[in-house]
Structure 1
Amino acid sequence: MVSHPVLCNYYVTYRCNAKCGFCDIWERPSPYIDLYSAMANFRDLKKLGVKVIDFTGGEPLLHRDIDRLLAEAKGQGFITTLTTNCLLYPKWAKKLKGKVDMLHFSLDSPVRQEHDQSRGVECYDFIVESIKIASGLGERPDILFTVFENNVHQIEEVYEQFCRPHNLVLILNPVFEYNDVKTGQPLSEDTLQKLQSWAGKRNVYLNEAFIQLRKDGGNHIDNPVCKAASSTLVISPDNQLVLPCYHLGKRSFHIEDNLYQLYTSPEVQQLIAREGRYPECEGCTINCYMQPSFAVEVNKYWWKALPSTIKYSYMKGTWKQLISKNLHF
């Protein structure tokens, strides 16, 4: 359906002020993206047809110019999204107001001790404070709940305690494995069924294609569903284009303020053509690349993802932007 990239995962830094056990990004040394390179990249991202920029990390609020980056992206017509552990949100809240279309607050457990243990720092109280601050500013952040085999039973408590009182969307994010990062037991059939039962609940977003993909054993290299490289661009903090995705990271190319020419070059296009077909791609279920993959090719996953995509766009009010930008995402 779409023959150009629709999403940019822009890593503003790999640095993080938390130490989550299910993530290894924070372990990497990292610079911060510079404004000059970002402006040049925004120009070329627009030329390439990208509509959504996810300012990610690490912890994106560690970047001292994150508000300027978001403002510039919004000013150029991009839909913006950002996920934070909330340690710095109270500091940034007023400056971020109106600049993030899809703002996510990460929460792993409704129990303070369990959440803080998962994150490696004490940040539970910051989430509680951040929700109050955001609500006072008229912002409506989502609660991003990563679902493990051992916390699926806590979905209802998170929903009732954090989402319903503040009319916030609960995003259910099934955990995925990558590289050598240990995330515990794979999600069982029973857990997948429990997850799926939440899909129709008010103010709950669950992409049911994530469930179907796991039931099917993930991506298969002989007939890949993954469109990571053609649907999504990954830009690193040191201004490199990473292919085919961040987590696999087979090749990196210095952008040097010419992202459009680099992305359309024969060498990069040859790598893109192998998306989902590398040996390491077998069984992959990485949500941040599968979601845009589901949106660009009509297959059973497209149909599975469609209801939740429409629902979320309606809940967040982004459907007007999506239609105006002729974007199916």
Structure 2
Amino acid sequence: MRLRTKPVLCNYYVTYRCNAKCGFCDIWERPSPYVTEKEVEENMKALKKLGVKVVDFTGGEPLLHRDLDKLLGIAKKYGMITTVTTNAMLYPKYAERLKGKIDMLHFSLDAATAEDHDTSRGVKCFDLVQQSVGKAKALGEKVDILYTVTPENIGDIQQVYEEFCLPNKWLLILNPVFDYNEVGENNFDKEAFSELRRWAKKPWVYLNGGFLKLREDGGNHIDDPICKAASTTLVISPQNELVLPCYHLGTKSFPIQNNLDTLYHSDEVQAVVKQEGKLPECEGCVINCYMQPSFAVEMNKYFWAALPSTIKYNWLKGTWKQLNLS
């Protein structure tokens, strides 16, 4: 049973540029412009009209956009819940300007030691994450630690949890790595699944139970798709294009030209939307970015698997007060 037909989330790529070279991501390899304030203003008007509640300013590395604070201000003006995930390398420089403008601020941290984290990210950034933690604490910001879990680093979760999350009462978001475009991996064994389920029950830990259930079921299946990427999530590129059915597949891009609402409802776009989860490339997909909103809009076994963690996160962050999905 479909609970909501309007899109709820916008993944707004402010640039594809990145100052890291993570082994589980290839976005940093792409040339890219930066979005403009004028584009964001026009698109926020349309997103509000379309029913979008959450805007994720993403990249690449979103803090490479020097006016990110202004973009966040525009989004807040239109009543959006805002989220930013950063490798934290530039956070100390921009922290004061960003204060209070991000509802869900995530610092990426993938290991308990500088050597392992810096190897994962392809640059030296562990010390900057630590500096950013101190800066955020001083400003009273409630940060989430986003931990991309791989079979290799699952043993480091405990130390990161104890050193970064528990002392600050910050959420540890466990994000199982996914594969796409010959990047990443998805080879968790039964023991790893059991370990992740154990972590999901701990205080100040968020792990979407739907992610694990979907992986155990072999991912999205095109004959009965769980993925609702194109109808739940609008993807806007740095070139000011609507990317469909999702960023990672991105089979079609449509120039927005200050007309996002009309474009989204056009026959050409809706024809692509109707193919969400059904394309040959969608078979076996477990990309978390799009499965999370997919689980939230249709009442099925994944909805129920995801519900406890969703309630937990929104209760601890206080975002449930803003997240009216009617």
Normalising by structure 2, we get a TM-score of: 0.98
C-alpha distance in structure 2 between counterparts of 1:174 and 1:188, whole Å: 12
Please name the residue that 1:156 is paired with: 158
C-alpha distance in structure 1 between counterparts of 2:44 and 2:225, whole Å: 29
How many residues were matched structurally?
324
Large movers: runs of 4+ above 6 Å: none
C-alpha distance in structure 1 between counterparts of 2:305 and 2:185, whole Å: 26
Pairs within 5 Å for 1:207-222: 207-222=208-223
Aligned to 2:270, the other structure's residue is in SS state helix
Please name the residue that 1:63 is paired with: 65
Q: Alpha-carbon deviation of 1:180?
A: 1.8
Equivalent of 2:325 in 309, 324, 327 = 327
Q: Alpha-carbon deviation of 1:207?
A: 0.4
C-alpha distance in structure 2 between counterparts of 1:154 and 1:126, whole Å: 19
Please name the residue that 2:234 is paired with: 233
Equivalent of 2:175 in 169, 173, 177 = 173
Pairs within 5 Å for 1:297-316: 297-316=298-317
C-alpha distance in structure 2 between counterparts of 1:224 and 1:189, whole Å: 24
Unaligned runs of 5+ in 2: none
Aligned to 1:145, the other structure's residue is in SS state strand
Q: Alpha-carbon deviation of 1:10?
A: 0.2
Aligned to 2:322, the other structure's residue is in SS state helix
Q: Alpha-carbon deviation of 1:267?
A: 0.6
Pairs within 5 Å for 1:1-329: 1-181=3-183, 183-184=184-185, 186-322=187-323, 326-327=324-325
Aligned to 2:199, the other structure's residue is in SS state coil
Normalising by structure 1, we get a TM-score of: 0.97
2:179–2:186 Cα contact (<8 Å) kept: no
Query: What RMSD over aligned residues (CA atoms) do the two structures have, in Å?
Result: 0.8
Aligned to 1:53, the other structure's residue is in SS state strand
Q: Alpha-carbon deviation of 1:165?
A: 1.3
Q: Alpha-carbon deviation of 1:63?
A: 0.3
Q: Alpha-carbon deviation of 1:156?
A: 0.8
Unaligned runs of 5+ in 1: none
Aligned to 1:146, the other structure's residue is in SS state strand
Give the % identical residues: 64
Q: Alpha-carbon deviation of 1:185?
A: 5.5
C-alpha distance in structure 1 between counterparts of 2:189 and 2:11, whole Å: 29
CA-to-partner distance for each residue in 1:37-56, whole Å, 9 max, x for gaps? Answer: 11000000000000000000
C-alpha distance in structure 1 between counterparts of 2:107 and 2:117, whole Å: 13
C-alpha distance in structure 2 between counterparts of 1:272 and 1:187, whole Å: 31
C-alpha distance in structure 2 between counterparts of 1:217 and 1:254, whole Å: 35
